[in-house]
Amino acid sequence: MQTISVKCKLQVPVELRSEIDRTLQGFADACNQIYGIAKRENCWNTTKLHHLVYKPIRETTGLKANHVCQAIRRVIGNAKTVKQVHKFRPTSLSLDVRTFQYIEDLQTVGVTLMCGRVKFKLSIGNYQLALLKGQSPTAATLNKTKQGDYYINICIDLPTNPAGKTPKVIGVDLGRRDIATTSKGDSWSGKQIQNTRDRYSKVRANVQSKRTRSSRKLLRRLSGREQRFQKWLNHNISKQLVQDAKRINAALAFEDLTNIRESLNQKPIRKVERRRTNNWAFYQLRLFVGYKANIASVRVVFVPPAYTSQTCSRCHHVHPVKGKSYRNGKVFKCGHCGFEHDADINAANNIAALGVTFVNSPEIPGIACQFRWTIVPLSDR
């Protein structure tokens, strides 16, 4: 099963907006108080923290019992995933089966607020209707946008079929100059996202020097725009990659870029290049490809990144001199067989070749660790 969230707009009567806002504010206050206690007591265990904060939080905020339980889970979850937890704002409310109900026949949802259970009509299209058909969701998140609209993200489970072995593999080379390049020759340029990030970086530098309340609000707004643009771009790229693989019944192969930022930042690079490297959202793209591929029954494998950009995809020769490479910017020209090609497509072809080995290998634990590139010097050939 693959869990996804379906974003649905709520039709909220004017008289109920204040009740939603009051519940959102109470939930945010509860999260902030719980985080303060957890930090002071150095308690990050859900059960222990529950015994510490449950009664006082209910008394000070007036929240329902399950809202307090969800606030505790929100704080623990954020503390585990974010290095520094900032102040919680009244923009979202976590819901579970006790505080949320989806009624398919009426296309309404029941949400428990501080005033009690309230039903709201959904304003959705055919895409959301198709995803929610026959579903019995047990979790959701109520959100309020900056424009004052209310949405509910309903979590549903979609059945998936296991992806089998296939002789076809599409290699995907990730980078900053080109976000993604496939062994089929498709490429998505990173110039637009890099220019956008550079522009926002200059604006942030000017705004940060002012150190006013309005400047802090502007920084948050700029950060949101930048993140939304990056997310939109990665969603489009991942969708296209999965669709292409599904159409020809192929698997997708990526380089395993774990800890790539740490290794790149250890090199003597300029401040601008360091910022661009740290802003590289390859992991988000990988996550988007992962869940889309799972739904489409497309297999995704990760291969060792060593020498994929330095190896000739035709003769599999690597430059015999350590530290040297036949790659020069966007061009790869092999000094052994004379093969000349786009450097990123050449790397994607090598990733695809490795991916075939991983996709069709026997299901033996540790088989991926046994595969190694063999560098044969020119003199030994």
| Residue-wise pLDDT tens digits, 202-242 | 776 666 666 666 666 666 666 667 778 888 888 999 999 99
Q: With beta carbons less than 8 A apart as the criterion, state whether 23 and 113 touch.
A: yes
Amino acid identity of residue 172, one-letter, is V
DSSP state of 324: -
pLDDT of residue 356: 87
pLDDT of residue 325: 82
pLDDT of residue 13: 93
Distance of CA 366 to the CA centre of its chain: 27
pLDDT of residue 231: 85
pLDDT of residue 118: 94
**Closest alpha carbon to 67 in 36, 23, 103:** 23
- Residue corresponding to tokens 């990144």: 305
Amino acid identity of residue 349, one-letter, is N
In angstroms, the CA 167 to CA 156 distance is 33
pLDDT of residue 305: 85
In angstroms, the CA 328 to CA 308 distance is 14
In order of 30, 40, 79, 223, 308, the CA distances from 87 in angstroms are 11, 15, 12, 16, 43
Handedness of CA 351, 356, 361, 364 (dihedral sign): positive
Q: With beta carbons less than 8 A apart as the criterion, state whether 244 and 182 touch.
A: yes
Q: What is the pLDDT along the chain (381 residues), one digit of tens a residue?
A: 788 889 999 999 999 999 999 999 999 999 999 999 999 999 899 999 999 999 999 999 999 999 999 999 999 988 887 766 778 999 999 999 999 999 999 999 999 999 999 999 999 999 899 989 988 899 999 999 988 999 999 998 887 776 666 778 999 988 878 888 999 988 888 777 777 767 767 776 666 666 666 666 666 666 667 778 888 888 999 999 999 999 999 999 998 877 665 555 565 566 555 555 555 567 888 889 988 998 888 989 888 888 888 889 888 888 888 777 888 888 888 888 888 888 889 999 999 998 888 777 654 444 344 444 444 443 444
Alpha helices for 120-266 (secondary structure H): 126-132, 191-208, 213-247, 260-265
pLDDT of residue 337: 87
Largest Cα separation within the chain, whole Å, is 82
Three-state DSSP class for residue 119: strand
pLDDT of residue 144: 94
User: Residue 117: CA atoms inside 13 Å, Cβ hemisphere, count?
Assistant: 10
**Closest alpha carbon to 173 in 336, 332, 338, 295:** 332
Q: Residue 213: which residues within 8 A CB-CB, separation 6 or more?
A: none
DSSP state of 162: P
pLDDT of residue 11: 94
Domain spans of the chain?
2-158, 169-380
Instruction: Return the percent helix, strand and coil in the chain, to nearest 5.
Output: 45, 20, 35
Q: With beta carbons less than 8 A apart as the criterion, state whether 243 and 298 touch.
A: no
pLDDT of residue 223: 64
